[in-house]
Amino acid sequence: MNEFMTVSSLLDNDFYKFTMQNAIIKLFPLAKAKYEFINRGNHFFPKNFANILKENLQKMSKLRLSNDERTFLEKNCPYLDSTYLDFLKRYQYNPKEIYISQNGKNLKMHIEGLWSRTILWEVPLMATMSELYYQLTGKKPISDKKIFSLTKEKLKKYKELNVKIGEYGTRRRYSYQVHKLVLNLLIEGKYPFFTGSSNVHLSHIFSKKPIGTHGHEWIMFHAAKYGFKIADKIAMENWLNIYGKNLRIALSDTYTTPVFLKNFDKKLSTLFEGVRHDSGNPILFTKQMIEHYRKLKINPINKKIIFSDNLNPHKVTMISSFCKEKINPIFGIGTNFTNDVGLPSLNIVIKMVKALPEKTKKWISVVKLSNVKEKSTGNKNMIFLAKKILHIV
């Protein structure tokens, strides 16, 4: 029996999973979802990987929200009401929602169940897979001392650039320990440019407010329920109805940015503080957003763009230079903080592939088109249909 466990708290997850879960419980409590593991990097998994992963999932089923963790959420996230926190207090992972098989070095996996339950699996599952992979393949990282030194160099660079930085690195971290080491550096250094971490558990440990927006699956589900053309718009309106003046960053690339901008009207562009960029050319995207705001007579200097697409110091330098005195950039650094240890990081994702909205009896395939082909996911026929409906060449 493997004694190794990578996730030791129910809150060791990205913040946006909890905010989406709360919204799902309020608006779509009976909706169901299916997720699928996608091995983008064609990685080979070591012998017995699936069984050891299953052991870890069984251990995760014993996790519960502690009273101290609940108090932390009440204090730092007042928009998560007591009804939701009561739900979370009773919540436990159910490994029966996950189907895993291994054929040689290839791994297959999908998740199925109520959307309000299964939404929490993706991030800790990926973090577990990543850490197990390095442990079981015996791949040795650089020393903690070198990781410390490398991170300090990056922070020195970000300080010189005078940019705002958040930490978004849970799902593809090398290990929990490396993640904690990096975050400890960020917080102990008292860097004024550090906005916080998307990891709720580590935010709790270091007494910082967690940060986050919402994920593509929020909009993908709305497409299944309401149609591709208005999915972005209704998803944003529903988000505002739940969170009001909180968490007002819109996700811009589920069905490509041009389609998003058609839905991002004067009212929504005014109410949302800004947008998140997660695919495609960041400079082109910035130009598109500035032009969009100006067309609506909104001053872009009062708006934010959160960049979160595979960032490193070089990219941050280039983007921040372009944004200067035009719009406010914030940078969500992920893998480059938590898995820059001298080894290739895993190129894996877990994405929603089907949804069963309430009052429908048939599963509907969902897709993400993104601004780049490599990040698009979903059934090929449905991708073709979505592009046809949205007039995407």
Can you state the percent helix, strand and coil of the chain, rounding each to 5? 45, 15, 35
The Cα–Cα gap between 236 and 386 comes to 19
Residue 298 and residue 172 share a domain: yes
Residue at 7 is within a domain: no
Predicted structure pTM score: 0.96
Which of 338, 359, 378 is a domain's end point?
338
- Give the mean pLDDT of 321-348: 97
Q: Which amino acid is at 187?
A: I
pLDDT at 98: 98
CA diameter of the chain: 63
Structural domain including 183 reads: 144-338
Whose CA is closest to 32, among 100, 117, 125?
Answer: 117
196 plus 317 within the same structural domain: yes
CB 56 within 8 A of CB 7: yes
Cα–chain-centroid distance for residue 95?
21
- State the pLDDT at residue 213: 87
Over the stretch 103-155, which tens digit does the pLDDT of each residue have? Answer: 999 999 999 999 999 999 999 999 999 999 999 999 899 999 999 999 999 99
Average pLDDT over residues 328-350: 96
Percentage of residues in the chain having pLDDT higher than 70: 99
Q: What is the pLDDT of residue 4?
A: 59
Q: Are strands 98-103 and 106-114 parallel, antiparallel or unpaired?
A: antiparallel
pLDDT, tens digit (0-9, with 9 covering 90-100), for 174-232 = 999 999 999 999 998 889 999 999 999 999 999 999 999 899 999 999 999 999 999 99
Last residue within a domain, chosen from 316, 338, 360: 338
Whether 161 is in a domain gets the answer yes
- With beta carbons less than 8 A apart as the criterion, state whether 67 and 137 touch: no
pLDDT score of 2 more than 70: no
Residues 110 and 149 in one domain: no
Judge whether 58 and 2 are in contact, CB under 8 Å: no
Kindly tell me if the per-residue pLDDT of 353 is higher than 50: yes
The predicted pLDDT at position 257 comes to 97
Q: Quick one: 123 and 222 in the same domain?
A: no
Mean per-residue pLDDT, 352-363: 91
At residue 97, does pLDDT exceed 60? yes
Is the predicted pLDDT of residue 1 greater than 70, yes or no?
A: no
Burial class (CB in 10 A: 0-12, 13-18, 19+), 312: middle
Co-location of 170 and 48 in the same domain = no
State whether 60 and 181 are in the same domain: no
pLDDT at residue 391 is higher than 50: yes
C-alpha distance from residue 86 to each of 81, 162, 248, 344 (Å): 9, 41, 25, 41
Q: Based on the structure, what is the number of domains in the chain?
A: 2
Examine residue 1 and state whether it is found in any structural domain, yes or no.
Answer: no
Tally of CB atoms within 10 A around 116? 22
The average pLDDT across 367-385 equals: 91
| Mean pLDDT of the residues in the chain | 96
For 54-81, the pLDDT digits (tens) are 999 999 999 999 999 999 999 999 999 9
Same structural domain, 315 and 372: no
Query: Are 220 and 34 a contacting pair, CB within 8 Å?
Result: no
pLDDT value for 27: 98
Query: Does one domain contain both 232 and 306?
Result: yes
321 has pLDDT over 90: yes
What's residue 66's pLDDT? 98
Task: Indicate if the pLDDT at residue 233 is higher than 90.
Answer: yes
In a domain, 5, yes or no: no
CATH number at residue 100: 3.20.140.10
Q: How many whole angstroms separate alpha carbon 225 and alpha carbon 122?
A: 22
CA distances from 44 to 47, 133, 167, 347 (A): 9, 9, 28, 12
* Residue of 6 and 145 predicted with greater confidence: 145
Asked whether residue 161 falls in the same domain as residue 32, the answer is no
* 65 assigned to some structural domain: yes
> Which residues fall within 8 angstroms of residue 89, CB to CB, at 6 or more apart?
64, 65, 70
Closest CA to 185 of 304, 17, 70, 333: 333
Query: In this structure, is residue 6 part of a structural domain?
Result: no
